Amino acid sequence: MSSEAKKNPKHFQLNPNWVQLQKKLKSSAKPSRHSNNLQSETPNSILGKRKEKPNSDPDDAKPSSLIPTNDDSSVTDVLAMDCEMVGVGQGNKSALGRVTLVNKWRNVIYDEFVRPVERVVDFRTHISGIRPRDLKKAKDFRVVQKKVAELIKGRILVGHALHNDLKALLLTHPKKDLRDTSEYQPFLKVGRRKALRHLAAEVLGVEIQNGEHCPVDDARAAMLLYTKSRKEWEKSVEGQLRLKEKQKKRKPRKKLRSDINQDHAPTAS
């Protein structure tokens, strides 16, 4: 038998049964491998979610994004605002080009491009992110101004360097209802104001304003800075209001004394 096998070495190669069997086994094994892959992927995704749970508490860890906490877009008692400016006149004069308002959950409740009263000569796109096409169908300044005034009336207004935004809107807001992240004492560095992007990076662990500014992100960052410090911030505001009330009560007494002295002063004959 061994001599015959040596004489005819091609005898085993000509039989295709084994090769065909191997092909059938491979083709039948493919679905099982696919199902195994699906099974291996599912536990990994579930485990990934479980690992994220301990870090999901906003009080224990710094947030990694400015994503709203829910989808509620109602007008809340606290609103954050941010504006982007364009250049008018000779280009060095700022005018409102876009305004954004978010609620306390950081959902956008108002976001509009604005057509300034004066002709725009510099869109400042590298900072504002505003382009000529954005203002073609933009709302008139007076329409936006009226709407913003209605939204912020009677509410706490949060923002960064809010005096600039209110100036561009030609609006005022009670000082007791302003929460400016550029002026809050714990956010200052040796009495100097910090840029919003620096506060966002240091306090929130979030990067913003890398290139063109986004008023939505800026308003959300300001709101998140406020909500993280709201308890202490409101205590300091209440203390300042009490101090002002005491000072007001003292001033009338001084005025009364001065009035009395004037009444008893000799008159010229």
Domain residue extents for the chain? 78-240
Measured CA to CA, the distance from residue 159 to residue 182 in angstroms comes to 8
Q: Looking at residues 130-152, what average pLDDT do you find?
A: 97
Written as one string, the DSSP assignment of 109-156 is EEEEEEE-SSPEEE--HHHH---GGGGTTPEEHHHHHHHHHHHHTTSE
**Residue 26 banded pLDDT, cuts 50, 70, 90:** low
Tally of CB atoms within 10 A around 165: 24
Q: What is the pTM of this model?
A: 0.68
Q: Looking at residues 109-116, what average pLDDT do you find?
A: 97
**Residue 198 banded pLDDT, cuts 50, 70, 90:** very high
Q: For 78-240, give the CATH class.
A: alpha beta
Least confident among 16-25, 112-121, 192-201: 16-25
Nearest to 229, CA basis, from 251, 198, 254, 204: 204
Q: Cβ-count burial of 249 within 10 angstroms (0-12 exposed, 13-18 middle, 19+ buried)?
A: exposed
- Look at residue 265 in the predicted model and tell me its pLDDT: 56
In this predicted structure, the answer to whether residue 5 has a pLDDT above a threshold of 50 is no
| Rounded percentage of the chain residues whose pLDDT exceeds 70 | 68
Measured CA to CA, the distance from residue 124 to residue 84 in angstroms comes to 9
Measured CA to CA, the distance from residue 205 to residue 200 in angstroms comes to 6
CA 169 to chain centre: 20
